[in-house]
Amino acid sequence: MPPASFQRIALVGCLLLGACNDTRDLAPASPDTPWQFEPSKEAPAPPIAAAKRFTVPENTAVQLPSPADIDPNHVYSLVELIDIAQRRNPSTRVAWEQARQAAINVGIARAAYLPALTASAVAGWEHFATPFPSNLVPQGFIVYNAQEFIPQLAVNYLLFDFGGRSAAVEAAGQLSIAGNVAFTAAHQQLIYNVARAYFTLDGADAALRAARQALADAKVVQQSAEALFGRGLNTIVDVQLARRTTAQAQYDLAQADTAQHDAMYTLLAAMDLPPTTKLRVANAADRPLPPRTARAVDDVLSAALRQRPDLLANVAKLRASDAEIAAARSALFPKALLSANVQGNIGRLNVNNSPYSGVVQPQGAALLKFEWPLYTGGLLQNKLTLAQSKREEAEAALKERTDQALREVALAYDQVDTGLQQYDAAIALQTASEAAFHSASDSYAHGVGTLADATSAQTGLASARAAVARAHAQSLINGAALAFATGELTSSEDFASPPPR
């Protein structure tokens, strides 16, 4: 076959092989068309009974966390609770290790700028035969015996690669930034979870106190009904109705007690403490509520876009994807490398059982190497396409996260003011309900009022007290939620307040 024909056939074969490695059809064709799933035609999975032959080994790695650092006699403030959670919760530890790994990857990427120095040594013995002219050696071959020891010191240095190393360092640096802000985001999430659980527990405590007071008020009305019945000024129906109201108040108290226990378990879970931990927390009744937002919502939204850790992490990932595209593109171009070595040849050799001849001499080499990947079966092109796809993915993820962040900030911004309005309305309702209850209760006790008015005023006062407890706790949660949504949440005492004006 002529050489030219062979070259054409080889080129066509390489192109066909490269086309066979095009995997773009394995992904959905476009972002606006759903992928159609085709049911597998493979054999069905074995029945569940077959899995019963396997057993799960006992878990000896994970142990019950110890609450040894909790003093059951100490009353913990919110800042102390957050500090304990930060020292115990594994999520912050995981985020920290990931940030450290990202920083280490920067050092790994920078190592490409430095030469690689390698020391090696080869030692051994060889016995081999090789053909030799029969007019010189009658048997037509000669036999060698060699003993060698070759130590070597080699250096390899990449001189030029069209920006591949700098792109790799840039990508690693951006991912390190993303890891650092993700670590901050993990702490902010933990702080918010603990704060929300703490304020919820405080609201449950307030609701429990209100339920106890409601039971006491119901008993006052019941005693009045029984006293009036004893004087013949009331009927047994009113007594039974009053007792029913007391029983309802006892049921409401049991429900409030259950809610308080649930809130305590939620706080312990947020702090990664066992549910059996005895924990006393400070009362948040005197904690100042967040003031009404003074900044315009657009200013709050702009601040959130500048400082939210999750958005900063997504921006860093987008920049890293740009650098990865540059690195993948540089792999298509040539590289220049320098390779050098210094070695020693220490050995001896005999031929056909002649006396050994020895050598102890240094030797070395310095080479300039040029590499250009002309054909790799579509490997480098697919890597570039993959990097570009990851860039599109990172851009879409950033837009999605930005839209979600704006919605979260707008909602938290609105809830601060509406929550305070609900709290003011609840306080006014409680004040009016207290006056109504005292008036109706006194009138009924003196026989000039009705049981319906007294019980209605009592249940209304109980509802008002519960509403105040809920509104107070929710206002504190709303303040923390706004600080969390804008990325300004810290573990300081005033963190629940909205951003400074």
If pLDDT is split at 50, 70 and 90, which confidence band does 496 have?
very low
Express the helix, strand and coil content of the chain in percent, nearest 5 each: 60, 15, 25
**Residue-wise DSSP of 121-141:** EEEEEEEEEEE--TTTSTTSE
pLDDT in tens, 373-414: 999 899 999 999 999 999 999 999 999 999 999 999 999 999
Phi first, then psi: what are they for 338, rounded to 5°? Answer: -110, 130
Q: What is the pLDDT of residue 57?
A: 53
Tokens of 90: 């594994």
Question: Rounded to the nearest 10 degrees, how much is the dihedral formed by the CA atoms of 109, 110, 114, 115?
Answer: -10
3-state class (DSSP) for residue 111: helix
Section 181-204 average pLDDT = 93
Residue 476 has pLDDT above 70, yes or no: yes
pLDDT in tens, 314-341: 999 999 999 999 999 999 999 999 999 9
- Between 325 and 142, the more confident residue is 325
Residue 46 has pLDDT above 80, yes or no: no
Burial grade of 354 (CB within 10 A; 0-12, 13-18, 19 or more): exposed
Please report how many Cα atoms fall inside a 13 Å half-sphere around the Cα of residue 113, on the Cβ side. 11
Q: What is the pLDDT of residue 48?
A: 39
* Share above pLDDT 70 across residues of the chain, in percent, rounded to a whole number: 84
Residues with Cβ within 8 Å of 205's Cβ and at least 6 positions away in sequence, in order, are 260, 283
Q: Round to whole Å and give the CA distance between 90 and 99.
A: 14
Picking from 42-56, 102-116, 193-207, 432-446, which range would have the lowest pLDDT averaged per residue? Answer: 42-56
If pLDDT is split at 50, 70 and 90, which confidence band does 209 have?
very high
Report whether 116 contacts 110 (CB < 8 A): no
Report whether 225 contacts 242 (CB < 8 A): yes
Report whether 159 contacts 338 (CB < 8 A): yes
3-state class (DSSP) for residue 170: helix
Residues with Cβ within 8 Å of 212's Cβ and at least 6 positions away in sequence, in order, are 253
Section 126-145 average pLDDT = 85
**Residue at 250: amino acid letter:** Q
Section 49-75 average pLDDT = 59
Looking at the whole model, is its pTM more than 0.85? no
3-state class (DSSP) for residue 313: helix
Report whether 430 contacts 465 (CB < 8 A): yes
Question: Rounded to the nearest 10 degrees, how much is the dihedral formed by the CA atoms of 107, 111, 112, 118?
Answer: -150
Beta bridge partners of 341: 154, 365
Picking from 278-287, 335-344, 460-469, which range would have the lowest pLDDT averaged per residue? Answer: 278-287
Report whether 336 contacts 328 (CB < 8 A): no
Domains of the chain (ranges; CATH) run: 75-114+162-333+379-485 (1.20.1600.10), 117-160+335-371 (2.20.200)
Radius of gyration of the chain (CA): 39
Instruction: Provide the 8-state DSSP code for 48.
Output: G
Phi first, then psi: what are they for 150, rounded to 5°? Answer: -125, 95
Residue 40 has pLDDT above 50, yes or no: no
pLDDT in tens, 446-466: 888 888 999 999 999 999 999
Q: What is the pLDDT of residue 174?
A: 94
Q: What is the pLDDT of residue 193?
A: 94
Phi first, then psi: what are they for 342, rounded to 5°? Answer: -130, 130
If pLDDT is split at 50, 70 and 90, which confidence band does 269 have?
very high
Report whether 340 contacts 155 (CB < 8 A): yes
Q: Round to whole Å and give the CA distance between 474 and 199.
A: 8
Strand ranges (E), 161-214: none
Of the candidates 398, 384, 277, 385, the one whose C-alpha atom is nearest the C-alpha of residue 328 is: 384
Instruction: Locate all alpha helices (DSSP H) within 21-137, ordered by sequence.
Output: 78-88, 90-110
- Between 166 and 31, the more confident residue is 166
Q: What is the pLDDT of residue 195?
A: 94
CA–CA distances in Å: residue 131 to residues 53, 134, 254, 387: 64, 9, 102, 55
Residues with Cβ within 8 Å of 370's Cβ and at least 6 positions away in sequence, in order, are 334, 335, 336, 337
N- to C-terminal Cα distance for the chain?
A: 85
Mean pLDDT score across all residues of the chain: 84
Q: Round to whole Å and give the CA distance between 454 and 217.
A: 10
